[in-house]
Structure 1
Amino acid sequence: MAAPKLWANSGDSHFLEPDDLWRSRLPRRLAELVPRTEKDPDGRWESIHVDGQVFRRRLPSLAQQEFMQATVAAAGSRDVGKRLADLDGEGIWAELVFPSLGMWSGSFRTPELLREAMRASNDWAKEALMDHSPRLVPTAQVSTMDIDDAVGELNRCAALGFRAVFLPVTPHPAQRDYHREEWEPFWTAAEEAGMVIAFHIGTEPIDFAAGNSIGVTYHGPGGAVLNYTETSFGGQRAVVKLVASGALDRHPDLKVLVSEGGATWVPFIADRMEEGYRQHAMVVRPKLKRGPREIIYSQVYASFQHDSSAVAAMTAMGFTNVLWGSDYPHIEGTFGHTQATLHQLFDGVDAKTRDRILFGSFAELFPDAPLPPGAHVGGE
C-alpha cells in the first residue's frame, strides 16, 4: 500500500526569470549595463560584462556543466504555467519564491541601475508569479547599495501585495553592514509594512575579479564540500548582526527568515550570544531590553530541506520557528523525491510537531497564503 501523501508549504524555492528580463524592461542606457557573458571560441573561458566592468573566469568542465544543468530539469523552473503541476506532484501547496537574477546585484556599481533593475524584477514577479496564483509567494528585491532606494522600493512592493523582502546575507560592498545604524530606516519600514526579512544562504556578493562564481570561495582539495558548507554561515552572521545591534529588539514585530540553512544552528547561536552578552557585559553595546535567546526564539525563523536534526531543534531544543523547504528546482533540493524525503523526516514524528514544521510556521509568517489540503492552523 502506497504511503499517504504529505502536503507541505515550502519556505524555500526559486524561479529562473527570463534571460532578457532587465534588458527588455530597462531604458537602453541602463540595459546596456546589465550582466552579459561572452564565451571564448575554445569554450574554456568567458568574459562577464557588468556595469562597465569586465571579469574573466574559467568555465566549468563539460561534466560539471551537465551536472549543473540538472537544476533546470523541473518543467516549472522557468514556466509558471507548469509550476503548479510540478508542485502538485511533489505535495507542495504554497511556497516562498526567491529570485535568481538578483544574485548579480552585488556586482553593480551604479545606484540607479541597481534600483531600476530591482524595480523591474519586482514588477515582473507580481505579474508572472503573484498574480498567477496565491500559492506563489514571491520575495521583493531592493537595492542594498542605497538604503533610501531600498526603503522606497520596500514600501512600493508592500503596496503591491508583497509580504517578504529578499536580502542577501551581506549587503552591497559599497554599503555599510546590517548592524550599522544606517539600516534603521529600513528595519522600521519593514516592521510597519509587515514585511518578512527573508535572507537566503549563499548570497554574498560574488568576487568575479578573483575568478570566483556563485557559491565558490575555496579551490583545491575538499573545495566542493568546503564551498557547500560555507554557504550556510552567512545567514547565521546576518542574524547575529540584527540581534547584537539591537535592531530586532527595537522592532519586536519584525520577523526574519533564513532559508536553506538548517535549523539546529539557531539554538547554538542563541546560547553563544547569551554567553557573550553575560560574560562580556561590561563592554556590550547596546544594552538589550530582552535577552538574545528570547529575541531569536520569537523573531527568527529557519528553513531546511533534508536535515533530520532540524526536527530535533523543535522537539529537543525548544526552537519552534522551523520551516521545511524544497529548494525547488535546485539540484540539492528535493524535486523528484519530495514525498520520500518528507516521509523519511516525519514518519513517527508527532502530528503537532510535523504540522508546525510543514505549514504552521509558514502560516505565521504569511497568514494570507493558502494552507495545504486538509491542513488547519489555530483550530481553523
Structure 2
Amino acid sequence: MDPMISSDSHIVEPPDLWEKWLTADFRPRAPKLVKDEEGGDAWLYNDGGAPAPLGLVTVTRGRPREELRWSGAHYDAINQGNFEGSARVKEMLEDGVVAEVIYSPQRTMRHFMLGTDDEFHLAGIRAYNDWLARDFCAKAPERLIGIAQMPSVGVDAAIAEMKRAKPLGHRGVLLSAWPSGNTNLSEADDPFFAEAERLGMPISIHCALSARGKVAPKPKTATEEKMSRGEATGGKQVSMLSGAGLDTMPLIMGEIILTGVHDRFPKLQFVSVESGAGWVPYYAEQMDDRYDRNKYWAKIKLERKPSEYVRSNWSFTFIIDHYGVKNRHAVGVDRLMWSTDYPHHGCDWPRSRSVVAEMFEDVSAAERRAITYDNAARLYGIRVGE
C-alpha cells in the first residue's frame, strides 16, 4: 500500500508545557495537572468543571476497547508519542503513516480563550504554538506538520499571530472562533482572510466555532459530572461522540460560502476537520437550491453556484466514513483527506492500514492514494513519502 498522511491528528500537552513555555507572569493561572478520581492524571481548567482526565484523548499500547474509559490514565503509561515528537514518529510509522497534520487540544485552548483577559488569552496561545513548532514538530518537521491555533481577541492580533506562526514552520491555522471575536462572520474578518490568502495558509475549522465570551462554562449536571469520572455509559454521551461537527460544520461552511468570502478571496483554502464527508453532497445540493430560491430577498450575489465553491475551496477530513468514500465523486476525490485522529479514542492505531484497506476495498489505487496521501501532501507541501 502507498504511504499515508493523517490529515487530522492531535497531541496531549506534556506535563511541563506551561511551566516551560508560558510567560512567567501567567503561570499561576495555567492549567493544573491533578489527579482524577481513579488516581489517573487530569488537567484542571478554569471553566468551572471537574478535572479533565486523559482517558479518551490518549492512546495506550495494548489497551483493548473493553478497557477504554474516561479516567485512570497516567502520563507514564500512555504512549509517549501522545506528547513527544520523536516517539510520535516511531508510533505513526508503525501504523503505516509517514506524516501527520497536528491540531491543538481544544479543551486546553478553552482555558485561555474563555476569559476576558486579552493578554492571558494571547500568552496561552503563543506558548502552545511555540511548543508545537519548536519542540514537538521540530523533532521531524518533514513529518510533523503543525497547525497554529489562532486567537480571537481581534483581527489585528490574529493576523499578527498568523504572521508569527508561519516562519516557525506552521503550515496552516486553526480557527476556534471568528478572528474578529464577533458572534457572526462579517467583513470585519476580511483582513485576516486576505492575509491568510497572501501567506498561502489554509484555514482549518475543527467541528465548531464559538464566539468569545459566548462559550458556556462546562456544565456540572449530574450526568456530565459522571461522564467526567467515567461513570456514564449511556446513549447521550456516545451520541455526542458520534455526531461531532454534524450540527455545526455544514452551517459554518454555508455561512462562509454564502457571504461571498470565496469571491473576495478566491485562492483561500478552508479545511473542515473531523466532521466527515458523507453529508457534503446533500448539503451542497441544498445550498444550491436555497440560494437560487432566496438570493433576491437575501441580497446575495455570488459569481458561481455554492456547490462549486465546495469543490474548489474546501477540503474534508474523515476517520471512518464509508459513505463519504462511496460518494467520493460527488464530494470530489481531490477534496477528501483521510485521518487517524491519533491519539484520540476514534483512532485505530496501530491497525490503520487494515482499516483503510477495508474502507477502500472497491476504490482504485490512484483514488485511494489521492485521498490518503496526495491531497494532504499538496495542500500542506509535504514531500516525505513521495
Q: Does 1:99 align with 2:104?
A: yes
Q: Does 1:263 align with 2:277?
A: yes
Deviation (angstroms), 1:47? 10
Deviation (angstroms), 1:207? 3.1
1:55 equivalent in structure 2: 48
Distance 1:17 1:41, change over 3 A: closer
Q: Does 1:140 align with 2:127?
A: no
Task: Choose from 4, 18, 21 the match for 2:17.
Answer: 21
Deviates most, 237-246 or 174-183:
174-183
1:333 equivalent in structure 2: 347
Distance 1:64 1:10, change over 3 A: closer
1:11 equivalent in structure 2: 7
Task: Choose from 22, 25, 30 the match for 1:34.
Answer: 30
Tell me how far apart the structure 1 counterparts of residues 145 and 51 of structure 2 sit (CA, whole Å): 36
Counterpart contact for 1:308–1:345, Cα < 8 Å: yes
Deviation (angstroms), 1:260? 1.5
Deviation (angstroms), 1:37? 6.6
1:283 equivalent in structure 2: 297
Counterpart contact for 2:7–2:338, Cα < 8 Å: yes
1:207 equivalent in structure 2: 216
Tell me how far apart the structure 2 counterparts of residues 34 and 342 of structure 1 sit (CA, whole Å): 39
Task: Choose from 163, 166, 169 the match for 1:161.
Answer: 169
Deviation (angstroms), 1:57? 3.5
Structure 2 residue identity aligned to 1:231: A
Structure 2 residue identity aligned to 1:18: P
Q: Deviations over 1:315-373 (max 9, x none)?
A: 35545300000111111112122111011012331122111101121122112x1242x
Counterpart contact for 1:6–1:343, Cα < 8 Å: no
Q: Structure 1 length as normaliser, TM-score?
A: 0.83
Tell me how far apart the structure 1 counterparts of residues 11 and 43 of structure 2 sit (CA, whole Å): 25
1:248 equivalent in structure 2: 262
Structure 2 residue identity aligned to 1:91: G
Q: Deviations over 1:81-122 (max 9, x none)?
A: 211111111110111001123343432321111112111211
Which SS does the other structure have where 1:242 is aligned? helix
Deviates most, 264-273 or 282-291:
282-291
- The 5 A counterparts of 1:206-245 are 207-211=216-220, 222-233=235-246, 234-245=248-259
Distance 1:158 1:318, change over 3 A: closer
Deviates most, 98-107 or 261-270:
98-107
Counterpart contact for 2:2–2:369, Cα < 8 Å: no
2:122 equivalent in structure 1: 115
Aligned residues: CA RMSD:
3.3
Deviation (angstroms), 1:203? 6.5
Task: Choose from 90, 97, 113 the match for 1:85.
Answer: 90
Deviation (angstroms), 1:178? 5.2
Structure 2 residue identity aligned to 1:370: R
In structure 1, stretches of 5+ residues that fail to align are 376-380
Which SS does the other structure have where 2:311 is aligned? helix
Distance 1:318 1:40, change over 3 A: closer
Tell me how far apart the structure 1 counterparts of residues 293 and 128 of structure 2 sit (CA, whole Å): 46
Tell me how far apart the structure 2 counterparts of residues 47 and 306 of structure 1 sit (CA, whole Å): 29
Structure 2 residue identity aligned to 1:339: R
Which SS does the other structure have where 1:301 is aligned? strand
Tell me how far apart the structure 2 counterparts of residues 335 and 63 of structure 1 sit (CA, whole Å): 14
Deviation (angstroms), 1:182? 1.6
Aligned residues: 359
Which SS does the other structure have where 2:70 is aligned? helix
In structure 2, stretches of 5+ residues that fail to align are 56-66
Structure 2 residue identity aligned to 1:107: L
Tell me how far apart the structure 2 counterparts of residues 203 and 341 of structure 1 sit (CA, whole Å): 30
Distance 1:38 1:179, change over 3 A: same
Tell me how far apart the structure 1 counterparts of residues 185 and 194 of structure 2 sit (CA, whole Å): 14
Deviation (angstroms), 1:304? 0.8
Task: Choose from 273, 278, 287 the match for 1:273.
Answer: 287
Tell me how far apart the structure 1 counterparts of residues 21 and 359 of structure 2 sit (CA, whole Å): 43
Structure 2 residue identity aligned to 1:121: Y
Task: Choose from 322, 326, 329 the match for 1:312.
Answer: 326
Deviation (angstroms), 1:288? 1.4
Counterpart contact for 1:94–1:370, Cα < 8 Å: no
